Chains A and B, each alone.
Chain A
Amino acid sequence: MANNINKKILAKKDMNFFAEFTASAEKTARMLTYAILGGVGVVAIIVMFIVIGVINNIIIKSQIAAVEAKLASDQYATVEADAELLAKTYENKNNYYYSLTQMKKNVDETPAVPMELPDLIAKNIPSDSWIESYTITGDTLEFTGYSFTYYSAVDMVNMLNDSDVFTSKPIITIGRVTAPDVGAVDEIINTEDNSINSINNYYSFDVEGTLVKSVYVSVARYLDGETISSLGGIETLEKDAGETYEIKDITTYTDETGATYTLSRITIDGVDVDEESFTNIVNANSISKVAATNSDINLYYTSDAAATESSTTQS
């Protein structure tokens, strides 16, 4: 009896155990199933991301292909070469323009004869005088003549100077014409033809002087550096001698592309302007001078873009 009871108890225990075991196994299996399903889900998501990534890559590759095709098109293919060619062309043209303006400057600075001067001379000859010869160049006037009084030559120069003919003191030479020079005879009455030698003393004169003329001031702008290049052409200004002139807005220069440059140094007739004068010029933003002789003013600039680039590199 007791054995039967024990067997029942044992059987019950076994059944409980299996029941528990089965329940546990089911739970484990369920959990594992969830885990696998979760894992598959994660894989699906990953696959989805991969697919999205692949699609994105395909899209961006097509974009790249489109841009590459654009770059390979005629419109873009030659842009850099064109830019290089245009830059070279511009440089050549700029040099050519500079040389043409230099030619023009050379011609402008060559003095021409003031064609109103022959008339002026003719109107200012004293009545007792006559001009034997005159020579006018772009710079000088020389004339010779004769008069019965020794004042006539200086009178004539004075009248010419009223019209600002000579720029400085002319050289005036007056001398009595000696008798042998004019074929004077010993006797007052020529017995051969009964003519009377009644000629008076008279005087020769020679006047030579420098003419008042225009003064030419040329202004050229250069980009300073290892090699100097021109910024535009040479500007030539015509001024009256003694006239005060002013060249304004020189501290900075903006070219036609909008690039800006800053004045770094100045030479006048090939000589560097000293530091103090340069500072004064920069402060006044102009050069002011009296036109005395032809003058070449060279303004040297540095590129603002290059300066900025340099400072950026250093920092």
Chain B
Amino acid sequence: MNNLTTRQKAGMYVFILAIIIIAGIIFGIKGNNTKYKEYQAQLDTLNQQVAYLDQLMAQNDTTTQEISTLDEQISDIELSFIDSLDTECIEQYVMKTMEDAGSPYLSSISAEDIDCPAITYADGTTSPDSLQCLRIKVIYSSTDGYNVTQYNTNPDMTATAETDPMDTLHQQMSLIGSEEYSTRVGYDEFLAALNTISKANPTCIKISSVSTEDTAGFLTMSASIDFYGTYLTNRVSTDDSTAAYTSWKGDTNVNTDSGFIGFPYIVTDPNSPWFHVKNADPDCVAYIDRPFTPYWANALYSKTVSGPDGLDAITGVTSAYTAGGIATPTPAATDDGTTTTDGATDLTDTTETSETTAAE
């Protein structure tokens, strides 16, 4: 170094400085600038992402509001249908409405599920949700203005009646034919009840048919009432409806002390309205194979019941409620015109059958 001239030294310094400058520019400034640009680009990207997410957040708020609005609309429609189609509640409601309107003479009531079209989405796929329809078919009768009336236990003529059934019977006998024919009731009341039912919730209760037929002096009136409900997998609203057709409004403390299965030879439970009613329907006239009894005993029983001192002697309402008396449950005609062999089961239809027979 000491051998170098000043000029050479200076040249070397200049050279070194030039290298430092170039290196500084290339690796320092340019490197920084490159890095800065990269960082700037990264920051821009991140800021764009923030802006995008901010926009998305605002959009989420809007969507949330839309979902909320949609939920309200959904709830309105959900609540316009019956949440749960409970047959017992609906039949109880129909019968009670009829009775309250003055048309208590029920002939029959039945329920039937009606197929509704499958619900599909716009793309053609099937929705898991479905429309349900329960059709209640009722047949009621008007009175004929001649014969006395009875429904349920009005008036009560069973063994457990508060008034002596014989007194009730005698009192009623004097009423036969005493009414003006125009006083026959049931038709207007039946229509009034149907009007009440159809107006209870027109969006989900529809009367699908009404018919009336003259039947030997009284009218047989029938109607089909459709109750619409839904099966919804993801229900939005909560149905707390307490309408009579959605919640149970019938009796809750029902006495079950004296119910029984299978009608015995004679009912001996004094608490039962069937007390002292004997199981001796006219089918006993014919020989019925009883697996548990010897043939001779079975034959003797059938002969006894069907003989002069048998069924004829024991048939009749009068003897049913006298001490130790016996009555014959009348076999009820079924829809197909046959009679049932189980008199006990069909005793509930005795009144109607008797009334029809009398009217005819």
Of the candidate stretches A112-120, A149-157, A266-274, A305-313, the one touching chain B is: A112-120
Q: Which of B91-137 contact A (CB under 8 A)?
A: 116-117, 119-124, 127, 129, 131
Answer whether residue B175 sits at the interface, using C-beta atoms and an 8 A cutoff.
Answer: no
Q: Are B43 and A64 in contact (CB under 8 A)?
A: yes
Q: Are B46 and A68 in contact (CB under 8 A)?
A: yes
Answer whether residue B322 sits at the interface, using C-beta atoms and an 8 A cutoff.
Answer: no
Q: Which of A25, A50, A131 has most B Cβ within 10 Å?
A: A50
Answer whether residue A196 sits at the interface, using C-beta atoms and an 8 A cutoff.
Answer: no
Q: Are B53 and A53 in contact (CB under 8 A)?
A: no
Q: A39-B13, A60-B36, A103-B131 given as contacts; is B211 within 8 A of A136 (CB)?
A: yes
Q: Are B194 and A115 in contact (CB under 8 A)?
A: yes
* Cβ contacts A1-42/B at 8 Å (1 or 0 each): 000000000000000000000000100110010011001101
Q: Which residues of B contact A47 (CB under 8 A)?
A: 24, 28
Q: A50-B28, A76-B53, A107-B204 given as contacts; is B60 within 8 A of A86 (CB)?
A: yes
* Cβ contacts A43-64/B at 8 Å (1 or 0 each): 1001101100110110011011
* Cβ contacts A88-101/B at 8 Å (1 or 0 each): 01101111111111
Q: Are B28 and A71 in contact (CB under 8 A)?
A: no
Q: A34 to chain B: closest CB distance in Å?
A: 10
Q: Which residues of B contact A257 (CB under 8 A)?
A: 62-63, 66
* Cβ contacts A181-221/B at 8 Å (1 or 0 each): 00000000000000000000000000000000000000010
Categorize the interface residue count of chain A. 35 or more
Q: Which of B126-151 contact A (CB under 8 A)?
A: 127, 129, 131
- B contacts with A, residue count (CB < 8 A): 77
Interface secondary structure of B, over-half rule: helix
Q: How far is B119's CA from A147's CA once the two chains are assembled, in angstroms?
A: 49
Of the candidate stretches A77-85, A240-248, A281-289, the one touching chain B is: A77-85
Q: A53-B29, A54-B32, A115-B207 given as contacts; is B127 within 8 A of A99 (CB)?
A: yes
Answer whether residue A164 sits at the interface, using C-beta atoms and an 8 A cutoff.
Answer: no
Q: A28-B6, A80-B53, A136-B211 given as contacts; is B122 within 8 A of A230 (CB)?
A: yes
Q: Are A227 and B123 in contact (CB under 8 A)?
A: yes
Of the candidate stretches B77-85, B313-321, B350-358, the one touching chain A is: B77-85
Answer whether residue B209 sits at the interface, using C-beta atoms and an 8 A cutoff.
Answer: yes
Identify the A interface with B (CB < 8 A): 25, 28-29, 32, 35-36, 39-40, 42-43, 46-47, 49-50, 53-54, 56-57, 60-61, 63-64, 67-68, 70-71, 75-76, 79-80, 82-83, 86-87, 89-90, 92-104, 106-107, 110, 112-113, 115, 118-119, 130-138, 220, 222, 227-230, 233, 256-257
